[in-house]
Amino acid sequence: MALKYSILDQSPISEGSTPKEALKQTAELARKAEEWGYTRFWVSEHHDAETLAGSSPEVLIAHLGAVTTKIRLGSGGVMLPHYSAFKVAENFKLLEALYPNRIDVGVGRAPGGMPRASYALNEGSKRDASRFPAQIDDLRMYLADSIPENHPYYGMKATPVTESPPPIWVLGSSQSSAELAAEKGLPYMFAQFINGEGGQSFASTYRDRFVSAGGSSPYQGVAIFVVCQETEEEAERIASSMDLALAMGAQGMPSKGTPPPERAINYPYSKFERLLVEENRRRMIVGTPRRVGDQLEKLAASYGAEEVMIVSIAYDFSAKLKTYRLIAEEMQKRQEA
């Protein structure tokens, strides 16, 4: 099976730009992703994050469906412990009715923001992530209209009723998320762009412990930061913005968005910050199309993954588009070779 390539977009806001512009860019990227042959396009959920515009993936997916025609669209992901599984099911069944056979329900248990946002989302109560496994069962039940007779909600429907339920994906960056995806018999997307350590081991656990649900087979994806440009020098220049943004974020430093390369290159990194940049590069692939293509294929092989999901952040949107276009062209060449 040929390796599949997909995109996760966080709707990042560049310094001097606006959330409105970031969301317009997400829509434009989705159109281009479809044109260039990517398999799926997911959008993220972040709260109280002034540098990322994507706070409600379901709402954004509805817009993206209206400006595309065939690419799969999904959440990367809905932070399920904040919400009612029934309401999430209705949101995604509505999307499925609007855009049949194009919707993915990616769910995670991370907070998606700082503690104050979690308290606000839960009306002042503490977020209970321990509910996540049971919520996945409930979500699957509501999506499939399979509430058992002994259930107190028997006879109820998550509406609208659709011909088929959109698939659930478990998203994670830990051993426990891999084990959960295996236990539930669901596809699993590992976020190496969040955690650069242990992913291959977690992928092995996922496949070894996979329990088929209704004939399902293990399906592994890996998501990683990528910057691809025509020369190594230009790729490093563009990636410098992400190096600085990640280093600042790790230290809780205030940010006005993705910084321009000129500021990032001239930033006076401390010894500790340089170590942060070095460590963060474990979550990134940076280089020319050939080098990036080699590294993506090597990464997928190390995971036994069927799919790679690319996350790219750049100060200039044109450079971000170039990353995805060059990768698509490189992969097309390799498939035709």
Burial 35-55, CB ≥16 within 10 A → b, else e: ebebbbbbbbbbbebebbbbb
Distance between CA atoms of residues 261 and 237, nearest Å: 6
- What are the tens digits of pLDDT across the range 7-58? 999 999 999 999 999 999 999 999 999 999 999 999 999 999 999 999 999 9
The alpha carbon torsion through 261, 266, 272, 273 (nearest 10 deg) reads -20
Give the CA dihedral 281, 283, 289, 291, nearest 10 degrees: 70
What's residue 337's pLDDT?
83
| Dist. CA 111–CA 209, nearest whole Å | 26
CB 45 within 8 A of CB 57: yes
pTM of the model: 0.97
> What does the pLDDT read at residue 14?
98
The mean pLDDT value for 303-321 works out to 98
Q: At what angle do helices 85-98 and 57-67 cross, to 10 degrees?
A: 0
The structure tokens 């606000």 sit at 120
Render pLDDT for 277-304 as a digit per residue (tens, 0 to 9).
Answer: 999 999 999 999 999 999 999 999 999 9
Give the pLDDT confidence score for residue 165 in this predicted structure: 96
pLDDT in tens, 175-233: 999 999 999 999 999 999 999 999 999 999 999 999 999 899 999 999 999 999 999 99
List, for residues 44-88, the tens digit of each pLDDT value.
Answer: 999 999 999 999 999 999 999 999 999 999 999 999 999 999 999
pLDDT tens sequence across 253-276: 989 999 999 999 999 999 999 999
pLDDT in tens, 93-105: 999 999 999 999 9
Q: Please give the pLDDT value at position 268.
A: 97
Q: Which pLDDT score is estimated for 330?
A: 98
**Amino acid sitting at position 77:** G
Distance CA 173, CA 194 (A): 7
